[in-house]
Each structure stands twice: as structure tokens, then as C-alpha cells.
Chains A and B, each alone.
Chain A
Amino acid sequence: MAPVSMEKVNKVYENGFHAVKDMDLDIRDGEFMVLVGPSGCGKTTALRMVAGLEDITSGILRIGGKEVNDETPKERDIAMVFQNYALYPHMTVRENIGFALKLRKTPKAELKAKVNEAAEILGLTDWLDRKPGQLSGGQRQRVAMGRAIVRQPSVFLMDEPLSNLDAKLRVQMRAEVARIQRHLGVSTIYVTHDQVEAMTMGDRVTVMRSGVLQQVDAPQHLYDNPDNIFVAAFIGSPAMNLYDATVGEGARSVKVGSQTIDLPDSVRIKRPALASYAGKEVVVGMRPEHLPAEADDAAGPKLVGDVDLVEALGSELVVHFTVDAHRVLAEGAVDKDEAAAVKSGEGVARVAAKTPVKAGDRLTFAVDTDQMKFFDTQTGLSIRT
């Protein structure tokens, strides 16, 4: 139970690869912090530096206020859960969970009590004398958790601990891991590439890209107010629709391709800086749920698209459409194959299930201008004040 702070932390590998760049991050006492980003963004490296499995090239790492750069993993009093669980296959569940305590020469009675307590919390009591090979994926995952919690460490480090589970179990364990963390109140750093995990589990979420920290915020705030194009494109599924656009005179409208979307006063009040972009290029972002279907002759800001594909999910329709504007892809937010498949002008909207629409139709979407995002084309930063 200790805060963790990273101050200008860098990691440069021997081959010159700069994996983590000037990372500043404060994890509060008892906080559940999720590190999220595409693969290769440095999130795992950052975690491994906190664990002490990777040397810190420069910068200061503190756990509980104490600088721990040169301390061994053991001295840092951390516990880590690995993606493949890394259970000792030759030991029983009981021995696996108790191994760290045994190394610390914990008296036998105390060790037994602690192992039993951890097993109780995780519902593993009946499985204590089995070996990992005899357990299901979910149970192994619990053993890995048990090994971490039994020591009551200052910090939990978790490296994609749920990614080896099947979808249904993952949902269940997501809730369970979050519950255990809150129950124990131990500061936790949780690495994942799954944004659903990031959104649902974390007190705060840190988004990383190419070794650079992009934004640290509470999940909802991150979703509603992305600081830059990358965060906007990375968080949310289906992804935010991002188009090149030109701001009209007095920022009273914005032109997306050949269509002009009127902006009411509320947008300018919320984003005073937008006025200075009059006549300039920007990137606009609209989340799929902020583009409801609308009658063709309705008043108010709207966007018309040619429907390519309709996916009926039962509760709603996911409509893939095309407009004649340039679709902006944040580099790294989607993987290369996906990016190559995206056509120019493609967009996604989530509309009511009963909307009569099929591929080939032309559909009008109402634009929720208050929820529209604006980004500087050059810097990629959000335009707010």
C-alpha cells in the first residue's frame, strides 16, 4: 500500500530502441491505474521497470516515496501477475501461493493461515492440493492472483492478466480482479491493450503511444475529452469518426467534404479557441453514438452519408457509411491491416434498431455538435480554450 511515482523515466535498450520516453506518472495510494496503448507502445516496459525486471535508463522511480531505482524486485515489495500466469507447474496450488512467503522464512503456521486466507478470497480452497496442470484457465488465473495477494505487497503489477481467458470468463474475471483490488486497497498498475478493460476497471487510465504518455484521466473523462487525435481514435469501439474539415467564418460552421455543418453558439462558448481557426483546416471527431439517424428534411446540423454496410446487433444498428471527406487515421491507434482496409471518407454510426436502412441507401444523420471534437491538424491536440 504505497503510491508509485515516475519522474522523467526513460528506457533505452542496448540496441538503441527508445521504449519509454520521459514518462511522468503518479499513481496514488490504493489507486487502480490502467496503462493502455497499442502493442509496442512501451506500457509493458514501463511496468517491468516498476517491477525491477528492467533497468531504468534515466529518471527516478519512487515507491512509497522512496527511490527504488537500484533495488531488486524483492526489495521493492511488489507482486506481479503475468500474462501466461507463470505458475510453477511442479508445485501444488498451495505451494505456488506460499512460495514467496516460504522464501521469506515465514513461520509455518502463519504461512498456512495466509495461504488459506488468500484461497478463501479467490474461491480456491478446494483446489489447494492440485497442480496447475489440473486446473482450468480461470482457476490458474486465480492462482496467479493468489500468489500476488498472499504477500500483501505495496503494489500489484499486472501484465495483461486476462488476455489468455476466453471472452466470457474474461468479463467475469474483470469484475473479480477489480473487486479484489478494491477489497485490499493495494495500489495497482494494470497493463492491457484491451480498451474495455481500461474503461471498466481503472480508477484512472494512462494512454501511451510509441513510448510517450498521451493522457492520464478517469475513464469517462478520457472518453469525453480526449487530449489529442490519438487518444480520440484509440479509445472507443467502434472508433470515433475523424475527418479533415475547414472551419467557416466566425467558426459558425465547419465544412466536412462538400457538406457544411452549422455550429451553434454553445460550441463556440465551450471552445473559444475555435474562433481563431476560422478559414483553417482542423480535424473533427464524431463518436458513432452521436450520429443518430434523422429525417432527410429535418432542421439542425446534419451529415449525409452513403450506406455501405448495416450490422444489426439487435439493440441497435451499426451503420458503415461513406462521406466525401478525408478520413483521418491516427498512426498507431489501429493496426496496419485495419488501417489499410479503411476507405477514405468511411464512417460508422450507431442508430436505433428500427431505422429502415439498407446498404446502398443514402442516410441523414443528426450531428450532436456539443459532442463534436476539434483537433489542430498540425499538432493533433484538442482545440478547447
Chain B
Amino acid sequence: MRRRKRAGWHRVINGINIATLVVVIFVAAPLYWLIASSFKTPSAMGAYPPQLFPNPISTANYHQAFVQYDFWIYFRNSLIVTLVATALVLIFGTLAGYALARTPMRGKFSTMVTLLMISLFPAIAVIAPLYTLLKDLGWLNSYQALIIPYTAFNLPFAIWILRNYMLGIPKEMEETGRIDGAGPLRTIWSIVLPMALPGVFTAGIFCFTACWTEFLMALTFNIANNYKTIPVGIATFGTAMEVPYGTIFAASVVAVVPIGILVFIFRKFVISGLTSGAVKG
């Protein structure tokens, strides 16, 4: 009995699990602090010693974020900009990725390298020219002011992921499709896309996260309250006199939720998407 118990413990406490625990604590601690603090009252927030668990639990911060500050507007804006940009990135990324993976096109290699360079380009370098451009177009403080640059900046990475994923799909799949009588678009839609879904999800989540958290462009192009996105909105909470930490924490928790949900739903796909091509089959 004793022996068996020890053996059981052995299975739980081993090097790998302990290492995992350390990593989890390291990553999760700030997140926990964020969530815990969002439920604290203003006085508990600055308490010493710090409260590990909020006491009393208060939802005032959430109420304030949505009522006093226009958090729901920022949330809506972020959702619109992010969803449209992600959709565009996935549509163009799929088509371009397929073309680069399959068609006997010239200059594929230089195209791919150029794309990689663009995706590594620092956004700060183009903000000023983009600002004047958008100003001339009269697009400052609009959804397209963010949707178009977001699409452009995230597309290269999506194309890379999707192309690599599509390279892993056997050519015979498409040839079978051709023999069965499917045209090019039908082949992409009914055969290639379903098989490339893990790649699509991976690209989609990366793009979604990037757009959702983007700050610099959002701050520069859309400063009118009606067009602010979440990161800009949260950053501009408060006044010159006070910084409402509780409200910021509460808003941040809400901002994290969609990404958490997405990753949770698609985690299997994302893992296989990131590792595809490493091994055959």
C-alpha cells in the first residue's frame, strides 16, 4: 500500500511537471495579479502588505470602465477593426499562399523573401508617412485607417504560414479534385482550405492578437473617442490628476477574454499549425 502510494506520488512530482509548474507560475502570476486587482476596491489596491486575494470583492471597477469611461465603444471598435482585418488577411493570405505554394510562377523565392522583409519592418518607420497619407485621404479617425494598415502588416506572415502549410498537402489531392471536375476556386474552397484549416487558424489567431493589441497606429490615426480601440482607450483612461488603476485592470481583463477564448477553442489546431512541415504525415 505504502509503496503504491509513493509510486503514485512519483508520477505527479517529477522533473517535467515541476519545470512546467515554474513556467506556469512565471507566466500566470502577472495575469493573476491583473484579475485579482480588477476586483479590488481603490483602497485595497494600494494596501500594504499587498492583498493576494481581493477582500472585499468589488465589481465597481468594471462598472466604472463601462459606464464612466466608454469602454464598450472601444471594445466595439477593436472588434470591428480586428475582425475585418483578420478576415481580409485570411482571404488574401489563402489565395496568395496557394499561388506561392502551387502555381509555376516566376520569382517565387524573391517574393517570399520580400514578404519576410516586410513583415519584419518596424511599424514606427512608416507611421509618419502613413499619417500624412491618411490625412490627405481624409481617413483619419475611421475604421479603414486601421483596417488597411493592419491587413498590410499582417498579411506577409499569414502568407508564409499558409504557404508552408499548403506545401504539405499532397498534390494528388488537387489532381483528384481536377479529375472529379473541380475548378481552381472550387479546389481551394472544398479541398485545399479544409485541409489547411490548422494553418488558417494559426494565421488567424496571430493576426487577431496582433490587431487586437496594436497600439502605435491606433494611437496615431484614430484619436477621436468614437474610433479609439481598446489599447488606446485604456491608455487614455483617467485625467491628468488621477490614474484609475482599478478601472484599467478591469478593462484589461475584458480585453484579454476574446483572445483567451480563441486560443482555448483552437489550441489543438494552432499547435499542429505551428509544427506542420516539421515531420511528414
Contact = CB atoms under 8 A, between A and B. Distances in A.
A89 B195 CA distance: 7
Contacts, number: 54
B213 to A, nearest CB: 32
Interface in B154-176: 170, 172-173, 175-176
B186 interface: yes
B180 interface: yes
Interface residues of A, number: 21
Nearest to B176: A86
B178 A74 contact: yes
A127 interface: no
A99 interface: yes
Interface stretch (A75-83, A239-247, A364-372): A75-83
Interface in B193-226: 194-195, 197
Interface residues of B, number: 16
B181 A86 contact: no
A88 interface: yes
Contact of A86 (B175, B186, B194, B197): B175
A103 B180 contact: yes
A104 B191 CA distance: 16
Nearest to A104: B181
B179 interface: yes
A48 B172 CA distance: 11
Output the residue of B173, B180, B182, B194 with the most chain A CB within 10 A.
B180
Contacts of B195: 88-90
Contacts of B178: 52-53, 72-74
Given A88-B191, A89-B195, A90-B194, A74 B173 contact: no
Contact of B182 (A51, A79, A84, A103): A103
A78 B175 CA distance: 12
A303 interface: no
B186 A103 contact: yes
A88 B180 CA distance: 12
B179 A78 contact: yes
Contacts of A104: 181
Contacts of B190: 88, 99
B180 A99 contact: yes
Nearest to A144: B176
B253 to A, nearest CB: 36
Q: Does more than half of chain B's interface fall in helix, strand or loop, or is it mixed?
A: helix
B181 A100 contact: yes
Contacts of B170: 84, 86
A74 B181 contact: yes
Contacts of B176: 80, 82, 86, 88, 147
A104 B180 CA distance: 9
Contacts of A84: 170, 172
Contacts of B182: 103
B122 to A, nearest CB: 39
A100 B175 CA distance: 12
A99 B186 CA distance: 12
A297 B172 CA distance: 61
Interface in A59-99: 72-74, 78-80, 82-84, 86, 88-90, 99
Contacts of A79: 179
A112 to B, nearest CB: 18
A73 B179 contact: yes
Contacts of A103: 180-182, 186
Interface in A125-177: 147
A103 B189 CA distance: 13
Given A74-B180, A99-B180, 15 more contacts: A51-B175, A73-B175, A73-B178, A80-B176, A80-B179, A82-B172, A82-B176, A84-B170, A84-B172, A86-B170, A86-B176, A90-B194, A103-B180, A104-B181, A147-B180
25 contacts: A51-B175, A51-B179, A52-B178, A52-B179, A53-B175, A53-B178, A73-B179, A74-B178, A74-B179, A74-B181, A80-B175, A82-B175, A84-B170, A86-B170, A86-B172, A86-B173, A86-B175, A88-B191, A88-B194, A88-B195, A90-B197, A100-B179, A100-B181, A104-B181, A147-B180
